[in-house]
């Protein structure tokens, strides 16, 4: 990483002061792992950005923390099919 780069982490919070998301930016572009949380504090999603483009594995979680669905992106485009994990309510 170049020492001349402008690095910033943007964060937003719910009204209850729980962290809603954090996103790293390098030189004004989304770059790194974007994390978001449900209002109850469990992880809601993780997405990787490279120079403002979605790139890599994307995970989305339910409020209870279980995996809801997974997909892969490359240069901001979804590759392949989205895998949804269904809950068995027996």
Q: What is the pTM of this model?
A: 0.82
In a domain, 84, yes or no: no
| Domain range enclosing 53 | 8-77
Domain count, the chain: 1
Q: 35-85 pLDDT, tens per residue?
A: 999 999 999 999 999 999 999 999 999 999 999 989 888 887 677 777 777
The answer to whether residue 83 is domain-embedded is no
- Asked whether the predicted pLDDT for residue 1 surpasses 70, the reply is no
Rounded CA separation 26/66 (Å) = 31
- The answer as to whether 82 is a domain residue is no
- The Cα–Cα gap between 77 and 21 comes to 22
Whether the Cβ atoms of residue 10 and residue 25 lie closer than 8 Å to each other: yes
For position 64, which CATH number holds? 2.20.110.10
Residue 3 lies in a domain: no
pLDDT at position 43, please? 97
On whether residue 20 sits in a domain, the answer given is yes
Residues 6-33 pLDDT 10s? 999 999 999 999 999 999 999 999 999 9
Give domain status of residue 58, yes or no: yes
Q: Which residue has the higher pLDDT, 51 or 89?
A: 51
């Amino acid at each position: 990483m170049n020492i001349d780069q402008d690095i910033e982490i943007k964060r937003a919070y719910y009204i209850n002061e729980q962290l809603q998301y954090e996103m790293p930016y390098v030189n004004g572009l989304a770059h790194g792992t974007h994390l978001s949380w449900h209002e109850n504090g469990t992880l809601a999603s993780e997405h990787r950005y490279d120079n403002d483009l979605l790139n890599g594995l994307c995970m989305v979680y339910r409020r209870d923390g279980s995996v809801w669905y997974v997909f892969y992106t490359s240069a901001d485009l979804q590759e392949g099919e989205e895998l949804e994990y269904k809950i068995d309510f027996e």
